[in-house]
Amino acid sequence: MTESVDDIAIASPGRATARLRIDISRFRLPPVDSVLVIGRRAMIGPKAMAKAVEEMVPQAFELIAVDGDSPVEALLVRKVHLRRLPRERLVPIMLRHVEGLMDEQDMLHVRLEIEVSVTEQVEL
């Protein structure tokens, strides 16, 4: 059940404005949908988060360490995604899109949908 509250605009004459969007939903287990991006200085480290998620949904996620100067320390990825797109292809795509949105203290939820399209031609 998700309830969505319409955008609310707040304005005062001669002042800045703010627009809020509030989505309210029930807490779901696991608290990770597709990918959890874990910053290098996040409140909870990647191993502890992976262990907690493993307790909730065994064998469903894989922890992938990220090397280099990235603010991202690791990605916790649903294994079904890695069966469709190998980690060597998925990790660079994820990093390209999240690195500019986060700092080392952040943890970001990513909802990933992979659609496979197959076209085959046969001779008649």
pLDDT tens digits, 51-80: 999 999 999 999 999 998 999 999 999 999
Binning pLDDT at 50, 70 and 90, where does residue 31 land? confident
Distance CA 67, CA 55 (A): 26
Could you tell me the sign of the dihedral formed by the alpha carbons of 79, 85, 86, 91, in that order? negative
Distance CA 115, CA 110 (A): 16
Exposed/middle/buried for 62, CB within 10 Å: 0-12, 13-18, 19+?
A: middle
pLDDT at residue 116 in the model: 87
Q: What percent of the chain has pLDDT over 70?
A: 86
pTM of the prediction?
Answer: 0.74
In terms of pLDDT, which residue wins out, 111 or 24? Answer: 111
Exposed/middle/buried for 20, CB within 10 Å: 0-12, 13-18, 19+?
A: exposed
Binning pLDDT at 50, 70 and 90, where does residue 107 land? very high
Distance CA 77, CA 35 (A): 5
